[in-house]
Structure 1
Amino acid sequence: MLHSMTGFARETVETTLGTLTWEIRAVNHRYLDVQFKIPEDLRPKEQVFRQQASAILGRGKIECGLYFRRATDQQSEMQIDTELVKLLSSRISEVSAILPSPAGINPIEILRWPGVLQQREVDAEPLFEEASALLDTTLEALDDMRMSEGRRIVEMLESRCVDIESIAALVRLRMPEVLAASRAKQRERIEKLDVEADPARLEVELALLAQKIDVDEELDRLESHLVEIRDALKDAKPVGRRLDFLMQELNREANTLGSKSADAETTKAAVDLKVLIEQMREQIQNVE
């Protein structure tokens, strides 16, 4: 099933250690680029998180943020190192005795001194296990969103393929008429010159002209590319680059059709094809 490269997922879990929240944002990119913003306690586990993401995501720029809010324990949280506070107070008194008119010390400034407030260390292993399980859940939610968006892209591409087929069929249906009109126009021009033309040479020239404006080969290739596109849409593997290449091929055939055009209707058909192909290309830029 086709996957979009854009998506967002956010999952939260309450643990005995605190609240964990994963936020993942995904946008289109040429390859897989996964970036992590995680607490320092879990920084050594970043490579494991990266492997989890790579196992599910194939392409895109992925921004993963892990946010941790510690559970508060009034008995053990924010303990004050009283010995350090006493030492700081003693040193402040010594400095105050030297200065002529020292300002008062704000207790908050003392609390900000490194080491005055002490927090218990978090056990990283249980925290990692919870974060890893939550990451899997968040990645699944992101993948579901990308798959849902992919289904809408498939519907759009299928619709444009049908429109392209209709235009190609109309051009093919009109080709005998276009060739006949071109042949008649060339004969009329020769007659206006009032010269006697070699009938055999004239037929050869008219045949060469018909060959130059005949677009059967281009229409055949166009229809062949549409078959390839539909096959790609059913593929379970990432097909974004393959579809992008097919858009280039479709655009090439539309350009050739326009350059070979011998009447206004065929020119209009070539322009309509290019508009449809561009609409498809814009959507395919977002396909994994």
Structure 2
Amino acid sequence: MSVYSMTGFASGQQAVATPEGDAPVWKIAAPRVAVELRSVNSRFLDLAFRLPDELRPHEPALRELLTRQLKRGKVELRAYVEGREDAALTDPPPRALQRLASLQDQVRVWLPDARPLSVTDALRLAGGASASHTEDLGETLLTLAGAVLKDFVAARAREGARLADLLLARVAELRRLAKEAEPLVPQVVQAQKERFLARWNEALTAGDTQVNAEAGQERALAEATAYAIRIDVAEELGRLAAHLDEIESVLKKGGDIGKRLDFLIQELHREANTLGSKSAALEMTRISVDMKVSIEQMREQVQNIE
């Protein structure tokens, strides 16, 4: 299953089939329904619709269509109709035209300076224009919305694949840093043991007290052991590796994975912080900082995954 980004855009247009009655029809320009879908990241699925009044009754069907496909994101659907006024002209009823002429004559008796009716006025008032009431926009709107949604999901999948590649690259970087950190603890412990023995020998040389050399070795070993326990990061590195394995598994599985990835990123950050707090060497501190940088980059990408 694909990884989906919460960022996407798609649009489309489709002509409306205008029904033809008994009267002749002159199709000047077929009306068209246009749909746009766009989204950005959000914690939940937040749908917003920008529809003209004539399309507003179809909002529940559009909402159902989107919720079947989308899980998260702030999604806006905008739809409108183009070319409605001059879409198609039919012969106006003669009785309506007669009535309009009669009314115009009556008005001009009282208002001789009134402007005569234009052809557009006559067609509109006589109902000769292809009225929006006679066009079934619902079927066209839902068919087009389904096609745009398909393109929209595909666009989010393409962006999601790019995000997954970036996350996997960061996972590889964290594994490399963890591998660098593994041999550092034994090296630091050995150096600490040697420093302790050197100071012990200096104390023996400066003083008059005779102390068994074997006791010094035992004391150095005990001090080194206690020090190793304090700075041991094997457990943290093990948990970090487990979290990285889980991130790779989740990305491979795909689907609705954004929230789980967000939790895993928090756990990675926790382990990197612990590495820094236990750091007993400058190199370990650098590794911890580099890990935090990579994890923060992963967090930014995960915020856009559905």
TM-score, with length taken from structure 1: 0.83
Residue 16 of structure 2 corresponds to: 15
Per-residue deviation, 1:279:
0.7
Per-residue deviation, 1:63:
0.6
| Equivalent-residue separation in structure 2 for 1:249 and 1:169 (angstroms) | 19
Aligned residue-pair number: 272
| Equivalent-residue separation in structure 2 for 1:224 and 1:66 (angstroms) | 47
Q: Is it true that 1:282 corresponds to 2:300 in the alignment?
A: yes
Structure 2 residue corresponding to 1:60, chosen from 73, 95, 108 = 73
Residue 221 of structure 1 corresponds to: 239
Structure 1 residue corresponding to 2:195, chosen from 171, 182, 185 = 185
3-state DSSP of counterpart to 2:39 = strand
Q: Contact 1:10/1:24 (CA < 8 Å) preserved in 2?
A: yes
Map Cα deviations across residues 10-47 of structure 1 (whole Å, 9 max, x no partner): 11112224201110111101100111112212212211
| Equivalent-residue separation in structure 1 for 2:220 and 2:110 (angstroms) | 112
**What is the letter of the counterpart of residue 162 of structure 2?**
R
Q: Contact 1:28/1:60 (CA < 8 Å) preserved in 2?
A: yes
Per-residue deviation, 1:91:
6.6
Query: Where in structure 1 are there 5+ consecutive unaligned residues?
Result: 94-103
**What is the letter of the counterpart of residue 175 of structure 2?**
E
Structure 1 residue corresponding to 2:182, chosen from 158, 168, 172 = 172
Query: Where in structure 2 are there 5+ consecutive unaligned residues?
Result: 19-30
Map Cα deviations across residues 206-225 of structure 1 (whole Å, 9 max, x no partner): 32221111100000000000
Alignment of 1:1-288 (within 5 A): 1-17=2-18, 18-69=31-82, 70=84, 72-75=87-90, 82=100, 120-123=131-134, 126-191=136-201, 199=216, 203-288=221-306
Pair 1:73–1:222, CA change in 2 (3 A): same
Per-residue deviation, 1:176:
1.4
Per-residue deviation, 1:192:
5.2
Per-residue deviation, 1:106:
6.8
| Equivalent-residue separation in structure 1 for 2:294 and 2:106 (angstroms) | 77
Q: Contact 2:193/2:220 (CA < 8 Å) preserved in 1?
A: no
Q: What is the percent sequence identity of the aligned residues?
A: 36
Pair 1:127–1:76, CA change in 2 (3 A): farther
Q: Contact 2:193/2:221 (CA < 8 Å) preserved in 1?
A: no
Q: Contact 1:225/1:246 (CA < 8 Å) preserved in 2?
A: yes
| Equivalent-residue separation in structure 2 for 1:76 and 1:162 (angstroms) | 72
Q: Contact 1:175/1:214 (CA < 8 Å) preserved in 2?
A: yes
